[in-house]
Amino acid sequence: MDGSGSLSFEDVRGWVRRYAGVIAENKVYLTELDSAIGDADHGINMDRGFTAVLLKLDALSGDDAGVVCKTVGSTLISTVGGAGGPLYGTLFLQFGIAMSGHPSVSLNEWLAGLDAGITGIQRLGKAEPGDKTMLDALMPARDALKQALANGTPPNEALRDAVAAAEAGMKATIPLVARKGRASYLGERSAGHQDPGATSSYLLLKAAADTWSEVG
């Protein structure tokens, strides 16, 4: 991103392509996390979804920055069969809505999408902070980014701050007892394992920073 934090259609597409690669690389890892406290399919499901996404990305053409994420959202809803389908589908649809109508947008629109996505995820799943879910990575990241931008932190640095907050939130899920999702069926036995949804969420935000923020 340049100093004004502007994101083009190609920037957004680049982010999604990078994330699809990250998911493929981490498919086994995410599935292992999910077999400790879930139904052992998070990595498999996300990889299936993002493989379908990659097939559609090339055909998209570029004068609306929101089209990429709307396409990702609707694809995930119909190809990711677990909770991740509705939840990541909603997140990406909200990113798409927030960024649509313009050939390029600012990091503020992306933040608005993240915020609306979190609201949508909560509306569907009714999870609260500390329930050991993807929100435990997404919410701290949203708060950090909002704070940083409000303080006038340059966009690249603000995004890196958000990723650091997501990483801390992801690691903080380790001791938690799950109160939502398949892991909640394990009760106390879910403690001591990092949440797979928080992990894939952290990786999503890290992929944004790796795509858009020059490493300083």
Residue numbers at the binding site for another protein (CB under 8 A): 41, 45, 48, 77-83, 85-87, 89-90, 123-125, 180-182, 184
Q: Minimal distance in Å, beta carbon 96 to another protein?
A: 15
Q: Minimal distance in Å, beta carbon 195 to another protein?
A: 15
Nearer CB in complex with another protein: 93/208: 93
Q: If you ran DSSP here, which 8-state letter would residue 153 be given?
A: -
Nearer CB in complex with another protein: 14/181: 181
Helix (H) or strand (E) holding 8: strand 6-8
Nearer CB in complex with another protein: 35/184: 184
Q: Minimal distance in Å, beta carbon 211 to another protein?
A: 28
Q: End-to-end CA distance of the chain, in Å?
A: 12
Nearer CB in complex with another protein: 107/134: 134
Nearer CB in complex with another protein: 52/164: 52
Let me know if 55 is exposed, middle or buried by CB neighbors in 10 A (0-12, 13-18, 19+).
Answer: exposed
Closest-CA residue to 103 (of 204, 26, 8)? 8
Give the contacts of 58 (CB within 8 A, at least 6 positions apart).
Answer: none
Closest-CA residue to 19 (of 67, 69, 66, 63)? 69
- Contact between 173 and 130 under an 8 Å Cβ cutoff? The reply is no
Q: Minimal distance in Å, beta carbon 86 to another protein?
A: 4
Spatial distance between the Cα atoms of 185 and 179, rounded to a whole number of angstroms: 8
Q: Minimal distance in Å, beta carbon 47 to another protein?
A: 13
